[in-house]
């Protein structure tokens, strides 16, 4: 799980704010992060996917940041400390999102590069440029009435449930959680449902990042989809996000519209799928949610907040690069070095609620979590994302009132990769239903009471 370490950050450069130490203390050059010859932790591979939280615990021994490798030959510093994460995310004076200098010395064909290579979009921009891009995104999402969004999710959920309802079993990851947001985005961007399949393959490849060939084929497939979308909307505008981006007062160029469509879909699909699936996995394996399915105390929204706090769908991201050498929370970081935030580690840090309850999002536990990141680049689509996930879960559990997993929570497996917390499968069984029978609704279809459940185990984190 580890490989020879990449050089730790050393610097004789200028000092910068953020570490909370006194000026005198800051002038003392600290030792390298890890002693020469030691190893750097890999944030990829089966070991990490099987036990990311064990890895985060070990990384805490380095302090607020630790050296990691996010893909072979791609080193980064990972912030695991909650307070340090907030300091970084809110300090645009010191930290930039522009990856151009960094990527010059990064391996071009690494499978993680699609997530890190600079493009003219809000993820990789700072200051006024970022604000201009971000307005186009937030204003366009604001034009979608929540009740219409909910209706669209219900329609798509019902169409998917109709496909597997009669089988009495389904992989809720591949047959539901992963497909539903994709079909929804396809609609929101203004293309017919028949285009969804092309997107499923492409986006899975981009996020999974296995081999360079797969990553690049996925990127090409995604570009092909976007090309068709742009051409269609240039010809005829509609009531959809793509058209709204095109006509937004920010005056985005064709290239900028294309990049913002790509980033919205790329940024939105995978985490929403994981939010739905991770929340379902908790609900279906945790006694506290058992009664929810027939009207108990804990709701799908509780499961979603539980996931946001304890198992964020994006575990590690917020790629930042210091504008100058900086001594940050006890570690020297070189100008332009890649630093990422582990929302998963920061959220689950012991005592983090006391470390600073402002700046992040409020969860059901009363503290602030970082599942949406924080600061100027925090997720701009939080409310729609929660609405989508909640509706998807409510609809599924309304139709399939006795649904349960066919494996224990601790037998679930997760996909490899440094960024996401993504289940490979979510196998479930339920009493078969026929959703397409004339006049049926999810409520009417439940003729019998939920059958006796197997005892459920508490979910692992």
Q: In angstroms, rounded to a whole number, what is the distance separating the alpha carbons of residues 393 and 397?
A: 6
CA distances, 10 to each of 27, 243, 326, 335 (Å)? 13, 48, 10, 10
Long-range Cβ pairs for the range 448-453 (8 Å, 24+): 449/294, 450/293, 450/294, 450/401, 450/402, 451/402, 453/290, 453/402, 453/404
Query: Which of residues 317 and 328 has its CB atom nearest to ligand HEM in the complex?
Result: 317
Query: Which of residues 419 and 430 has its CB atom nearest to ligand HEM in the complex?
Result: 419
Query: Which of residues 222 and 317 has its CB atom nearest to ligand HEM in the complex?
Result: 317
Separation of CA 222 from chain center: 18
Which one of 268-276, 344-352, 436-444, 447-455 is the stretch in contact with ligand HEM (CB under 6 A)? 268-276
Q: In angstroms, rounded to a whole number, what is the distance separating the alpha carbons of residues 65 and 294?
A: 45
- Please pick, from the candidates 16, 281, 381, 423, the single residue that binds ligand HEM as defined by CB under 6 A: 381
Helices (H), 189-247: 196-208, 212-235, 241-247
Measured at the alpha carbon of residue 317, what is the angle toward residues 316 and 322, in degrees to the nearest 5? 125
Which one of 73-81, 196-204, 262-270, 280-288 is the stretch in contact with ligand HEM (CB under 6 A)? 262-270
Which one of 21-29, 289-297, 347-355, 373-381 is the stretch in contact with ligand HEM (CB under 6 A)? 373-381
* Residue 322 binding ligand HEM, by CB under 6 A: no
* Residue 385 binding ligand HEM, by CB under 6 A: yes
Residues 6 or more apart whose CB falls under 8 angstroms from that of 322 comprise 16, 94, 95, 96, 328, 333, 334, 335, 336, 337, 339
- Strand order from edge to edge, sheet including 404-405: 169-171, 427-429, 404-405
State in angstroms the smallest separation of the CB of 312 from ligand HEM: 6
Q: Which two tokens stand for residue 23?
A: 């000026």
User: Which residue, 161, 428, 442, is CA-closest to 285?
Assistant: 428
* Residue 292 binding ligand HEM, by CB under 6 A: no
Query: Which of residues 257 and 433 has its CB atom nearest to ligand HEM in the complex?
Result: 257
State in angstroms the smallest separation of the CB of 461 from ligand HEM: 16
Check if the beta carbon of residue 116 is closer than 8 Å to that of residue 263.
Answer: no
* Residue 360 binding ligand HEM, by CB under 6 A: no
Query: Which of residues 267 and 403 has its CB atom nearest to ligand HEM in the complex?
Result: 267
- Please pick, from the candidates 346, 373, 403, 426, the single residue that binds ligand HEM as defined by CB under 6 A: 373
* Residue 345 binding ligand HEM, by CB under 6 A: no
- 66-125 residues in contact with ligand HEM (CB under 6 A) are 122-123
Check if the beta carbon of residue 181 is closer than 8 Å to that of residue 274.
Answer: no
- Please pick, from the candidates 187, 329, 369, 377, the single residue that binds ligand HEM as defined by CB under 6 A: 377
- Please pick, from the candidates 71, 80, 174, 264, the single residue that binds ligand HEM as defined by CB under 6 A: 264
* Residue 65 binding ligand HEM, by CB under 6 A: no
Check if the beta carbon of residue 240 is closer than 8 Å to that of residue 190.
Answer: yes
User: Which residue, 271, 254, 290, is CA-closest to 404?
Assistant: 290
State in angstroms the smallest separation of the CB of 317 from ligand HEM: 4
Residues binding ligand HEM: number (CB under 6 A): 27
Collapsing DSSP to helix, strand or coil, 381 comes out as: coil
* Residue 314 binding ligand HEM, by CB under 6 A: yes
State in angstroms the smallest separation of the CB of 371 from ligand HEM: 4
Binding site for ligand HEM (CB under 6 A): 122-123, 134, 137, 263-264, 267-268, 271-272, 275, 308, 312-314, 317-319, 371-373, 377, 379-381, 384-385
């Amino acid at each position: 799980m580890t490989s020879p370490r990449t050089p730790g950050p050393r610097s004789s450069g200028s000092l910068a704010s953020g570490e909370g130490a006194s000026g005198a203390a800051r002038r003392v050059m600290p030792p390298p992060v890890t002693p020469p010859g030691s190893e750097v932790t890999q944030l990829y591979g089966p070991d990490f996917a099987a036990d990311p939280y064990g890895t985060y615990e070990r990384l805490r021994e380095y302090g607020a940041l630790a050296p990691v490798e996010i893909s072979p030959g791609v080193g980064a510093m990972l912030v695991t400390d909650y307070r340090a994460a907030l300091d970084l995310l809110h300090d645009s004076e010191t930290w930039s999102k522009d990856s151009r200098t960094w990527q010059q010395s990064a391996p071009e064909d690494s499978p993680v590069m699609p997530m890190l290579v600079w493009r003219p979009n809000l993820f990789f921009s700072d200051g006024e440029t970022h604000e201009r891009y971000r307005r186009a995104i937030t204003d366009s999402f604001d034009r979608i009435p929540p009740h219409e969004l909910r209706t669209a999710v219900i329609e798509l959920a019902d169409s998917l449930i109709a496909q597997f309802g009669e089988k009495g079993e389904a992989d809720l990851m591949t047959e539901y959680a992963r497909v539903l947001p994709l079909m929804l985005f396809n609609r929101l961007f203004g293309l017919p449902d028949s285009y969804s399949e092309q997107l499923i393959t492409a986006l899975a490849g981009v996020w999974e990042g296995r081999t360079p060939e797969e990553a690049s084929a996925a990127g090409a497939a995604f570009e092909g989809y976007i090309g068709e979308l742009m051409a269609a909307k240039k010809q005829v505008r509609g009531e959809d996000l793509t058209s709204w981006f095109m006509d937004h007062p920010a005056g985005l160029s064709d290239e900028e519209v294309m990049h913002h469509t790509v980033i919205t879909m790329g940024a939105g699909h995978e985490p929403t799928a994981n939010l739905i699936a991770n929340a379902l996995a908790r609900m279906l394996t945790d006694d506290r949610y058992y009664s929810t399915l027939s009207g108990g105390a804990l709701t799908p929204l509780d499961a979603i907040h539980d996931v946001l706090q304890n198992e964020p769908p994006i575990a590690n991201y917020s790629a930042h690069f210091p504008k100058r050498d900086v001594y940050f929370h006890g570690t020297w970081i070189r100008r332009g070095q890649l630093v990422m935030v582990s929302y998963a580690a920061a959220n689950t840090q012991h005592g983090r609620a006391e470390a600073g309850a402002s700046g992040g999002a409020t969860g059901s536990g009363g503290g602030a979590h970082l599942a949406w990141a924080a600061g100027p680049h925090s997720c701009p689509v939080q409310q729609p994302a929660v609405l989508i996930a909640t509706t998807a879960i409510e609809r599924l559990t309304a139709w399939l009132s006795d649904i349960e997993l066919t494996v224990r929570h601790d037998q679930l497996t997760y996909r490899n990769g440094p960024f996401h917390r993504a289940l490979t499968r979510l196998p479930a069984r339920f009493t078969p239903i026929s959703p397409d029978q004339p006049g049926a609704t999810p409520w009417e279809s439940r003729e019998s009471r939920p059958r006796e459940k197997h005892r459920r185990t508490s979910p692992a984190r």
